[in-house]
Amino acid sequence: MTTLDGLTPTKQHEADESIHDLINLDISMGSQLIASNKNAANVAYRVTGIPIDYKQKQVKALLQTVLQLDKAGNSVKLRSIAISPNRKTKLATACFSCRPILLPPRADGEWHFPIPTESNSGNSSADYDDDIISQEQIITVDSHFKGITVLRSFSKLDDHKIDVIAISGLGGHAFGSFKARDGQHMWLCDSLPRDLPGAQIMIYGYDTQLHGSIAFQDLESLASSLRASIAAQRTSGSTNPKPRAVPLIFIAHSLGGLIVKEAMIQMKNDKKHQDLLESIYGGLFFGVPSQGMEITSLVPMVAGQPNQALLHTLGKESQLLRNQFRDFPKAFDSKDSEIFCYYETEMSRTAKLTENNVWKMEGPLCILVDSSSGRHTRPWENEAHNCIGMKRDHSTLVKFSPNDSDYDEVLAKLNRMALTAVTTIPRGTRGQQKLKLLTEEEKKAIEDSLKFDRMETRFFDVEAATTGTCDWLFSIPEYNQWLDSNLVSEHHGFIWIKGKPGSGKSTVMKHAIEAATNSALPYIIITFFFNARGTELERSILGMYRSVLLQIISTTPTILDDFSHLFSSKIKHGEVYEWNIGELQAILIKIMKRPQEYPVMWFVDALDECKDDELLKLVKFIENIGHTAVSSGSSLHICLSTRHYPNIPIRWGIQLTLEKQDGHDRDIMTYIDSEFRAPHNPHVARIKNELRSRSSGVFIWVRLVVELLNTAFCRGEGKPTQLQRLLDSFPEELDGLFTNILKADPGSKDKSILCFQWLLFSKEPLNPEELYFAVLAGTEPTAIGKWDADEIDPKGIENFILHISKGLLEVSKTHRTFQFIHETVRDFLLLHNGFTKLEPNLATNVRGSSEERLKLCCYQYLVLGVFKDGHYSPARLRPSPPLDRDRKDPNLGPDIIRQFPLAQYAVRFCQTPLSVAARLGHMAAVQKLLQLEANVNVEGGSALRAAASKRRKQIVKLLLQFGANTNLDSGRHGSALQAAASVGDYQIVQLLLQSGADANSEGGGYYGSALQAAAGGDNVQIVQLLLQSGANVNHETITHGSALQTAVNHGSVELVQLLLQSGANVNSGGGGYYGSPLQAATCHGNKQTVKLLLDAGADVNIMGGRCGSALQEAVSRGYSDISQLLRLHGAIEVEI
């Protein structure tokens, strides 16, 4: 017999499953229990009632005595010792070298022993008048672990920062369910107390035995018991009836998560438990079936038993779970809380009754909790950030071994949650908040962890205001009202500067910051300039929060001392855990609640360049922090700049539209007077005035047009009539102006397009030399060679790039990289079809075609430059996934990098040259690379798969002759056999099979197995060939199901017949979107296929997939003829 944790009874012993559970789950286990002494060292017991003053040695001695371990040569090992919730006794977990003779099997799994006391009859001082009769002290040993067990506690309450309670799943065990499958390691007991500072670790046990159970408890009663246990634990040992306000985080597996959610719903409806609910910060849910789980194999185990109702409430059709799904987000609706869902991505064994009438988890593989069910918690947390897939089955989701990478990821989440929780949920007393001050090393570590590359790049790259411009800002009423502390209650410290794209908002913001910095008033200045062209952190709210907090710490060093309790739990062994958005927001809110010594001015530029999915969240937080500052009396002034679109709703603040300001209009005229080269005369004055009026307040338009007019003037076209005619030719819209500029020189159009493609789609910014050779590699490949600085020096390279970009690029002031002169150029190319206006062939999939072109550039640069004439051998390159940003730089050597500037980028971010040559069909290049000993089996970049995917039969033959591995998996691209099957190349499929390709290899391909790939392409001949070569006709994958399902989905009647004749399971349903083949055929309205499947014995009433039953789908889609056919074959009417 096994539990849902998937262990046989002997293995249950090894995993600390309780003896009590074993007896009740399998009455035939008596002999195994007797014979299991060799495994007894792995069985954990709980000991309660230990005197509060006992230390480890005393506890071990106590157990040695009361259990008579010495007589049997037995020994005890303490797993944990902690203070009980009542703070009057201690409890411990322990295991023994062999099963103690005084712990024989008992139905209740519980034993009681008096604590020996020294005789004091000779010196008795008993008070016979005392009304309280003293009783002997009792310790209790149990193996069931029912209720709350504390694994780690604190003698000093001030050290206790947070509670963590773990609850196991259906048929599990409070301790054993969290043990590593093949060892004694129990991470909640052995690792987490050390790795999660300040956390009291607890586990919760309850009875969910399946077979042979006489319990009739339901989900509601299980939740009530959990709620009562937590409430008792939190008030026990205290004279205060309210629970201690220590934040609580749950770790819940499977059914345990449903119990937690139900308990929280009950708390919401019970006024006495509101404080308890408010103390819950969130949880980590592992395989929690929020929309039900697969229970088909478990139903026979509980047939006729009182607990069958509980099992059915866990099924996919459970009305109780639907109600819980609706009620839980309402009960636990705090946006400051967090829930993360981990779901299984491997199938689990199902229950099976053996010939000996013993239930074992040895049945067919099945998805117990599918990703849809395991990912559902609250509507706002169903994104990838909160839902994480684990390559584990249902049981092992919570079984971590020592040095387990999955444990490290879970620990990082817990540490971040713990830090945010202690800053979000108030503590019971101020004394509980006190922590030791940070050391100087720890303070530096905090500051270093907040820094990131290019943090201030955008600010320094913004053009400074031309002398005499932008000063009007400080005299207008709106700006002075914003600074007036007496009006803060009206505008909440906000001013919004809005303007058209390119109107000069960033320059105005930079000028305001410089003026505030130089002001005689002692302001604390905080700035952040979003940069859509920058790195992830330059354009995300995470980057902004890190930058802002660092600036606050830098300007007010006492912050780290005053709020040390917010930072201390972020540090472990001198290192700071990765920051997350929630904890940064919580810290900033806490800081802003405290009145600052000086007024704070916070400038945020280009709010519209923040990532789209984060914009509204940021606005809400900024409004919240402004409201917090107003409420607490802090002097906080926030200045935001943004375009008119997208329209960002705001509740408070002063709005200032840039192009409506007379001062801004005068600034444009000042710039024209300063930069226009033509000598002043009445005609030129009219041109200047027209320039200003046609600009519509858009400064970048003025800048570009003035440069074009100056260029014409310098080449001798300076007559007023010539300048006027040129001005008249310029469109007033920026997109039209960009198009004119780029089309003016057809000879360099291709170089211009490629240059912009590199700027937009390269994996990292290129320096001028890299960009120069990147453009040459794609436009003049014959010119590729060693860089000779005598032929073209760095200044010449810079001029080349500026020329082909037509002035739309500039060199960054802080880094030796090129960037667009303004975000509007990037918008033109990506959002306003700029590439298409320059090159119609780029009308579809600009990103995909551009990335392919960049790969080709890298390939040509390596083959025609780096590898040519033996400069460097591809055999020396380290085989590594091509897009791994954390890998070490390729071992090219300084000489190669100096002579071939693009080589390092090309090797790091391009597919292997051999695979590119194979894909393109360049036979000569493939032969040359193979002669140079290029690695033919690079993981992640299989040349054989690349050739097969493009039907390059001769290259496939050549690669096989050089030892290409036919079964090499290329990650998401799959194997060569999958690729050939998917494109329908019979000859290559045959060749690969003859060369040893595995007909059943699944790999990581888009189409599942090769058989599924062939079925998806309606390739009957290839399907026949694969079946003849031993392909498993019933092989299933989670994503695609079986080959039969694939064939049905693609409407191939001939293939469906072939697969059925070859033994395909007509009711297969291991994966796929639509469920069984019959359901899929019904969804697609394919009556011929439906009839074919029914004639082959398809189950007409099977449920699953996304469609419900076949009849339900047919009725909902209006397929009356299919509905009639299904009814004739016994379909049961289903309520829609």
pLDDT of residue 1113: 83
Run of H or E including 349: strand 348-349
DSSP annotation of 921 reads T
126: tokens are 């008993």
The count of C-alpha atoms lying within 13 angstroms of the C-alpha of 822, restricted to the half-sphere facing its C-beta, is 23
Rounded CA gap, 1051 and 1077, in Å?
11
Run of H or E including 494: strand 494-499
Cα angle 132-138-141, degrees, rounded to a multiple of 5: 155
Other CB atoms within 10 Å distance of the CB of residue 719: 13
Rounded CA gap, 685 and 676, in Å?
11
DSSP codes of every residue in 567-623: HGGGEETTEEPPP-HHHHHHHHHHHHHSPPSS-EEEEEE-GGGS-GGGHHHHHHHHH
DSSP codes of every residue in 771-789: HHHHHHHHH-GGG-----T
Rounded CA gap, 764 and 365, in Å?
44
* Residues 6 or more apart whose Cβ sits within 8 Å of residue 919: 946, 947, 949, 950, 952
Other CB atoms within 10 Å distance of the CB of residue 170: 25
Give per-residue burial for 525-545: e unless 16+ CB within 10 Å, then b: bbbbbbbbbbbebbbbbbbbb
Rounded CA gap, 384 and 422, in Å?
25
818-820 and 809-811 strand pairing: antiparallel
Cα angle 968-971-972, degrees, rounded to a multiple of 5: 130
Run of H or E including 91: strand 89-96
Successive 10-residue mean pLDDT values, the chain, 1136 residues: 36 36 29 42 90 92 91 88 89 93 89 76 45 76 94 85 94 91 89 93 88 77 92 67 73 95 92 86 94 87 78 87 89 86 92 81 88 84 82 94 92 88 61 59 90 88 89 94 84 90 93 89 89 86 94 86 78 77 88 75 90 82 83 82 80 89 94 89 91 91 92 88 91 92 90 94 90 92 82 88 92 84 90 89 83 87 76 53 41 75 80 78 81 73 86 92 85 80 92 91 69 86 92 80 86 90 83 74 89 91 74 85 90 69
Q: How far is CA 32 from CA 1, 353, 466, in A?
A: 12, 19, 89
Strand partners, 92: 47, 81
* Residues 6 or more apart whose Cβ sits within 8 Å of residue 1007: 974, 978, 981, 982, 1013, 1016, 1040, 1046
CB 1039 within 8 A of CB 1006: no
pLDDT of residue 237: 55
* Residues 6 or more apart whose Cβ sits within 8 Å of residue 348: 6, 361, 365, 366, 367, 368, 393, 394, 395
- Helix/strand/coil for 78: strand
Residue closest to 422 by CA, chosen among 227, 200, 274, 202: 200
pLDDT of residue 890: 53
- Helix/strand/coil for 202: strand
675: tokens are 């930069």
pLDDT of residue 127: 47
| Sheet with 76-83, edge to edge strand ranges | 76-83, 89-96, 45-51, 138-142, 110-114
Cα angle 577-581-582, degrees, rounded to a multiple of 5: 95
670: tokens are 């000042």
Rounded CA gap, 1036 and 1041, in Å?
5
326: tokens are 């609706």
Rounded CA gap, 152 and 102, in Å?
27
**Can you count the helices (H) and strands (E) in the chain?**
51, 25
Helix axes 615-632, 581-593, angle to 10 degrees: 20
Residue closest to 978 by CA, chosen among 956, 1009, 1017, 937: 1009
Residue closest to 305 by CA, chosen among 24, 699, 495, 524: 24
What type of residue is 40? A
Place of tokens 């079964």: 967
Report the first-to-last Cα separation within the chain, whole angstroms: 39
Instruction: Write out pLDDT tens, residues 345-372.
Output: 999 888 888 877 888 888 889 999 998 8
pLDDT of residue 22: 30
CB 280 within 8 A of CB 343: no
pLDDT of residue 404: 92
> 562 — phi, psi (to 5°)?
-65, -30
359: tokens are 């239930």
463: tokens are 């053009």
Strand partners, 95: 77
CB 1016 within 8 A of CB 1050: yes
- Helix/strand/coil for 966: coil
| Sheet with 387-390, edge to edge strand ranges | 147-152, 199-205, 162-167, 248-253, 280-286, 338-344, 387-390
